Amino acid sequence: MSSLLTIGEFSRLTHVSVKALRHYHDLGLLAPAQIDRSSGYRFYAAAQAPAAQLIRRFREMDMPLDQIRAVLEALDPAARDAVIVAHLKSMERQLEQTQTTVASLRALLEGGAPAADVELRTLKPSAALTMTEPVAWDDTEDWLRDALSSLRGQVSRLGASRMGPDGAL
């Protein structure tokens, strides 16, 4: 066991908190190399440090744990890069929203009226695809992802086109 590190030593080595390491273990994201059966102490191998540091770095960039798991488990670089690109696009949208908010706040401080783009349109009635199902709160995110994927597939099979953003209630 001398080649293994205690969870505290591994935490100091990787700059990942002990609490986070336990959480990653509970999620199956980063399992210890060994667990002492009698004490339950977790031990990590030094070779696990790059994975822990990668997780820490992605968390610093606000990447959700399910996406981090997809990056770590990706079998080919293209699949890994697709997850990273999706997060990049999400962060770019967030940045645009923040920049718009900052501009609006500056305009308010400078005495200007808040700039709001308002457009009144009348649309013809159109068909809508919906899905309804009682879902436990903890299962909502997975259900919504699957439901939207299924609806997009139906739109494609019907040869129809989407008319607006996805939504959920």
Q: Residue 34 pairs with which residues in a beta bridge?
A: 43
Give tens-digit pLDDT for 50-105.
Answer: 999 999 999 999 999 999 999 999 999 999 999 999 999 999 999 999 999 999 88
Is the pTM for the entire model greater than 0.95? no
Q: From the centroid of its chain, how far is CA 47?
A: 26
In this prediction, residue 158 carries a pLDDT of 83
The class that CATH gives domain 4-61 is mainly alpha
Q: Where are the domains of the chain?
A: 4-61, 74-111, 128-161
Long-range contacts at 137-146 (CB < 8 A, ≥ 24 apart): 144/168
Band (pLDDT 50/70/90 cuts) for residue 49 is very high
Given a cut of 50, is residue 1 above it in pLDDT? Answer: no
